[in-house]
């Protein structure tokens, strides 16, 4: 029997394409699923390229905003326009309604269209208090939006929230056969011509083939763009390399055309530029050897098409959350501790643009490493630049540093955070993750364990104080302010970006979701949540003990090996 699923996806072009991974995973479980999507009108053209979306429902955002801002009309006209768009969906019976975006608008619409039984993600109750369909919706709504070193990416979180395993294999993107032929013909002609030039220069009769590198130029956020001077230098390096040939990929708009014209001024108008809309773009991406791109919709589409990607992660581009996710792809970034990904993070509100240390040579070297992975441990990058490779562990996508400067403490903390999250979610078997942590320098791991234990002690003190103050409120309202002060001190730890922050973020989410109108019931519920938090914080001690034992085993093994070598040398003398 066919089941109907509605996905509410109202944020970005890239999210429409990213949803394809989830859609294909749902279809893999049950091919009879009928999946429809609610999007803004400007996103409709993208949905038409996704095979497993049977229908796109449209909200005309521009019209609604125009009515709202027009002083001639009452606000009721704009509200009515929205409800007219939603009415056909309201009348339908949905087996599942998935809040894919999680922003306020999507959540209100989800609350209007879904029931408690069929909602996946966050919604609001009749008191406008947030509701979570499961614990993974808390990860999606609260942890990914506030924890600096995100321990799980966006796509893996949504798969867990919906309850499906990620289906590996081809994603179903619809391409235009005419565009496929034209793109393949034109790009193969370039590849063949440049390859013949390469073989002549080398005096070779072999089969060396030039790699076509597509460069995606502009994003919707200026801080994510590769700086113009870096792009000019990179193009020069690629044009000078007989084994690589750059092509510029742009959208059909005047902004990007003007940008290409500026670039061409430096190269005598010899740059090859391919202009394509969302219908033609899949055909282009399928016929290049590598895409170099910032955090853009083009990157997400390339992932779906299995086109290799070197992502240049700049500005607010949150690669730990939404980076390229196909195994083997590379991500070039400034050192993680210098990155700013969301409001409220240190350095995010200083009013200054964030400068990158990434140079053209770094991007060029990352491209070279992609085509020859044996170079990843020897390639040279600028100071404070890191290169990550996409890998998979037993829990999903993980980003492993392979070149450049790396802060061991940050990387160990990232892995510990991942271990903590999945432990709290009731998932077991961390042998691979524990080995990864233990493989870092022993002194750094021991130091992080010590720091984390100190944070466990602090968190325990704060929550016990909060619990004592809460119990005191049962004796009279005069203790209420002491409880609120203690609670505030505890919740400050949400922003500490330590592994103890993870269970405290979950506690905060559950606290904000309490909806009883009875003060007595709320006190009882908060008390239960504090005891749950205490148990979760204690779990972290067990994790730290396990990691410490593995590190101590390694230290002992290294010491025994060193002693054996010393004894053998003495015997030889």
Report, as an integer, the average pLDDT of 560-568.
Answer: 70
Side-chain half-sphere exposure of 435, counting CA atoms within 13 A: 6
DSSP output for 40-108: EGGGHHHHTTBTT--EEEEE-HHHHHHHHH-TTS-HHHHHHHHHHHHHHHHHS--SEEEE-S-SHHHHH
pLDDT confidence of 344, banded at 50, 70, 90? Answer: very low
Could you report the per-residue pLDDT of 466-517, keeping only the tens digit for each?
A: 999 999 988 877 788 999 999 999 999 999 999 999 999 999 999 999 988 8
Could you report the per-residue pLDDT of 507-551, keeping only the tens digit for each?
A: 999 999 998 888 889 889 999 999 999 999 999 999 999 999 999
Residue in 49, 134, 63, 64 with CA at minimum distance from that of residue 96: 134
pLDDT confidence of 349, banded at 50, 70, 90? Answer: very low
**Residue 222 and residue 212 in contact, taking contact as beta carbons nearer than 8 Å:** no
pLDDT for residue 456? 97
Q: How far apart are CA 225 and CA 223, in angstroms?
A: 6
Query: What's the DSSP call for residue 563?
Result: H
pLDDT for residue 564? 64
Report, as an integer, the average pLDDT of 223-243.
Answer: 95
Report, as an integer, the average pLDDT of 445-461.
Answer: 96
Could you report the per-residue pLDDT of 179-203, keeping only the tens digit for each?
A: 999 999 999 999 999 988 888 887 7
Q: In the chain, what are the domains?
A: 3-119 (3.40.50.2000), 178-406 (3.40.50.2000), 442-559 (no CATH)
Asked whether the whole model's pTM tops 0.95, one would answer no
**Residue 549 and residue 446 in contact, taking contact as beta carbons nearer than 8 Å:** no
∠ CA 169-174-175, rounded to 5° = 110
pLDDT for residue 371? 95
Helices (H) and strands (E) in the chain, counts: 20, 15
Residue in 304, 14, 328 with CA at minimum distance from that of residue 154: 14
pLDDT for residue 352? 38
* Statement: residue 373 has pLDDT above 70: yes
∠ CA 421-426-430, rounded to 5° = 65
Q: How far apart are CA 97 and CA 142, in angstroms?
A: 20
In the numeric block, which tokens belong to residue 329?
Answer: 């792809």
Report, as an integer, the average pLDDT of 296-320.
Answer: 91
pLDDT for residue 347? 39
* Statement: residue 56 has pLDDT above 60: yes
pLDDT for residue 346? 40
Summary mean pLDDT of the chain? 91
pLDDT for residue 1? 63
pLDDT for residue 170? 63
Q: For residue 207, what are the contacts with CB-CB under 8 A and spacing of at least 6?
A: none
Partners of 249 in beta bridges: 216, 274
pLDDT for residue 567? 64
* Statement: residue 410 has pLDDT above 50: yes
Q: How far apart are CA 7 and CA 53, in angstroms?
A: 10
Q: For residue 385, what are the contacts with CB-CB under 8 A and spacing of at least 6?
A: 332, 333, 334, 335, 357, 358, 362, 404, 405
* Statement: residue 104 has pLDDT above 60: yes
- Tell me which of 167-181, 333-347, 448-462 is least confident: 333-347
**Residue 301 and residue 282 in contact, taking contact as beta carbons nearer than 8 Å:** yes
pLDDT confidence of 169, banded at 50, 70, 90? Answer: confident
pLDDT for residue 429? 84
Report, as an integer, the average pLDDT of 326-355.
Answer: 70
pLDDT for residue 470? 94
Report, as an integer, the average pLDDT of 26-39.
Answer: 95
Q: Which residue has better confidence, 220 or 94?
A: 94
Q: Quick one: which H or E segment has residue 212?
A: strand 211-216
% of the chain exceeding 90 in pLDDT: 78
**Residue 360 and residue 310 in contact, taking contact as beta carbons nearer than 8 Å:** no
* Statement: residue 212 has pLDDT above 60: yes
Report, as an integer, the average pLDDT of 453-473.
Answer: 95
pLDDT for residue 22? 95
Report, as an integer, the average pLDDT of 24-51.
Answer: 95
Q: How far apart are CA 402 and CA 379, in angstroms?
A: 10
pLDDT for residue 495? 93
């Amino acid at each position: 029997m066919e089941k109907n699923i509605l996905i509410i996806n109202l944020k970005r072009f890239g999210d429409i394409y990213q949803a394809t991974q989830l859609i294909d995973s749902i279809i893999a479980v049950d091919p009879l699923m009928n999946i429809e999507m609610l999007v803004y009108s400007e996103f409709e053209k993208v949905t038409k390229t996704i095979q497993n979306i049977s229908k796109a429902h449209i909200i005309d955002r521009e019209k609604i905003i125009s009515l709202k801002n027009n002083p001639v009309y009452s606000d009721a006209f704009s509200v009515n326009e929205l409800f007219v768009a939603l009415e056909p969906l309201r009348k339908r019976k949905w087996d599942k309604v998935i809040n894919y975006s999680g922003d306020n608008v999507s959540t209100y619409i989800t609350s209007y269209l879904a029931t408690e039984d069929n909602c996946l993600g966050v919604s609001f109750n009749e008191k406008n208090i947030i509701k979570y369909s499961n614990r993974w919706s808390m990860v999606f709504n609260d942890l990914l939006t506030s924890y600096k070193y995100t321990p799980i990416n966006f796509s893996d979180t949504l798969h867990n929230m919906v309850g499906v395993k990620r289906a590996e294999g081809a994603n179903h993107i619809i391409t235009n056969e005419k565009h496929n032929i034209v793109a393949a013909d034109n790009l193969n002609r370039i590849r063949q011509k440049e390859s013949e030039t390469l073989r002549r220069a080398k005096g070779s009769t072999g089969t060396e083939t030039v790699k076509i590198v597509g460069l995606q130029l502009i994003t919707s956020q200026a801080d994510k763009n590769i700086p113009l001077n870096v792009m000019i230098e990179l193009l020069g390096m690629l044009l000078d390399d007989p084994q690589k040939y750059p092509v510029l990929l742009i959208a059909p708009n005047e902004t990007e055309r003007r940008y290409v014209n500026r670039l061409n001024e430096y190269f005598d108008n010899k740059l090859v530029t391919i202009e394509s809309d969302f219908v033609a773009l899949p055909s282009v991406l399928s016929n290049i050897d590598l895409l170099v791109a910032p955090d853009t919709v083009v990157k997400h589409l390339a992932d779906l098409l299995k086109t290799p990607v070197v992502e240049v992660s700049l500005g607010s581009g949150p690669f730990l959350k939404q980076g390229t996710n196909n195994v083997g792809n590379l991500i070039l970034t400034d050192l993680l501790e210098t990155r700013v990904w969301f409001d409220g993070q240190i350095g995010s509100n200083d009013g200054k643009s964030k400068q990158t240390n990434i140079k053209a040579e770094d991007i060029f070297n990352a491209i070279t490493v992609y085509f020859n992975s044996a170079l990843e441990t020897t390639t040279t990058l600028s100071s404070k630049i890191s290169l990550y490779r996409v890998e998979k562990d037993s829990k999903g996508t993980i980003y492993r540093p392979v070149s450049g400067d790396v802060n061991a403490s940050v990387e160990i903390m990232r892995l510990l955070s991942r271990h903590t999250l999945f432990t709290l979610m009731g998932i077991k078997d961390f042998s691979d993750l524990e080995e990864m942590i233990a493989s870092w320098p022993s002194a750094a791991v021991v130091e992080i364990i010590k720091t984390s234990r100190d944070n466990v002690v602090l968190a325990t003190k704060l929550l016990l104080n909060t619990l004592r103050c809460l119990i005191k409120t049962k004796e009279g309202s005069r203790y209420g302010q002491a409880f609120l002060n203690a609670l505030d001190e505890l919740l400050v730890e949400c922003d500490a970006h330590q592994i103890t922050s993870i269970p405290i973020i979950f506690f905060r989410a559950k606290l904000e979701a309490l909806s009883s109108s009875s003060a007595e019931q709320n006190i009882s519920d908060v008390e239960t949540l504090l005891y749950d938090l205490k148990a979760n914080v204690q779990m972290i001690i067990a994790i730290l003990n396990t990691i410490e034992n593995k590190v101590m085993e390694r230290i002992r093994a290294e010491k025994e090996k060193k002693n054996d070598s010393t004894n053998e040398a003495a015997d030889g003398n």
